[in-house]
Structures are given as C-alpha cells and as structure tokens.
Amino acid sequence: MIAVDTNVLVHAHQRQADLHLSAKEVMRQLAESPAPWAICYHNLVEFYAVVTHATLWRSPSTAEQALEQIAAWRESPSLRILMDTEDALDRMSELAVAARVRGAQIHDARIAACCLTYGVRELWTLDRDFSRYPALRTRNPLVK
C-alpha cells in the first residue's frame, strides 16, 4: 500500500504551490486506482493547518475549501485513513530514539510509525527527512 505525506497533499490542493499540476495529477491517478492507498490521519490534520495558514499563502484556503478537499479524497473507495494503534507511542519512541530526532522532527517519526504499523510499502513524500527511518521506503512521486 502507498501512503501520501502532507507535502504532496498540499501541492495537489494549493494552486499557488510550485508543483501543483504534477501533484494534482499524481493524486488523481492514485485516487482513481482500485489499489489500496492511504493517508495517515495526522497528515490530514497537518494538511488543513498548512493550506489554511494565512502567512504561507497569498490566498490561503478557507476552512471549507480544506475540508472539501479532504472529503473529496475520502470519496476514493480505495483510500484507507490510518489511525494510531495502541502501540503507536512505543513504535514512535523506538524510531525517535534510533534516529535521534529532536523537536519538530518527532512528527515525521509519528508518520513513519503509523505507516510501518499498517504495512505501508512506500510513502510518497517530498521530504528527505524520512531517510532517518530505513524500514520505511520513500519516493518522491513528482520526480520522474
């Protein structure tokens, strides 16, 4: 199963994003595929925070626009929303200690833990920081 990181979601939604058209097409193909794909719940929360952030965009998304986008992705019958399990904190802690993460880097450890728990075979991301977690294969879907 493929999971999608926040940065890909943001580029797919926000027309002002540099890679908007490429990301939008990648997301369309993924959503229309019968193969299961995933978004961690945390990524949806972060997506909302980023696209509605007034200082990041000339025209930030409204709350309604952000929620409509999330609803549109959720309409894909092959989408799985991945939630934390009971052992999520332990798994995140193990990853964080092994990767020696500090500060805000803990958010990536949380995403990595969620993906690994659900057997995600590949995380689509533009973020190289996930290389700290060698058990999680990553790929930038916007680079050919």
| Residue 144 resides in a domain | no
Q: Which residue has the higher pLDDT, 39 or 129?
A: 39
pTM for the structure as a whole: 0.93
Task: Please indicate, yes or no, if residue 20 is contained in any of the structural domains.
Answer: yes
Give a yes or no: residue 60 inside a domain.
Answer: yes
Q: Is residue 23 part of a domain?
A: yes
CATH of the domain at 127: 3.40.50.1010
In a domain, 103, yes or no: yes
Number of compact structural domains in the chain: 1
Q: How far is CA 6 from CA 23, 82, 86, 108, in A?
A: 11, 13, 23, 10
Measured CA to CA, the distance from residue 117 to residue 105 in angstroms comes to 19
| Each residue's pLDDT tens digit, 111-144 | 999 999 999 999 999 999 999 999 999 999 998 7
The answer to the question of residue 90 being in a domain is yes
99: containing domain: 2-139
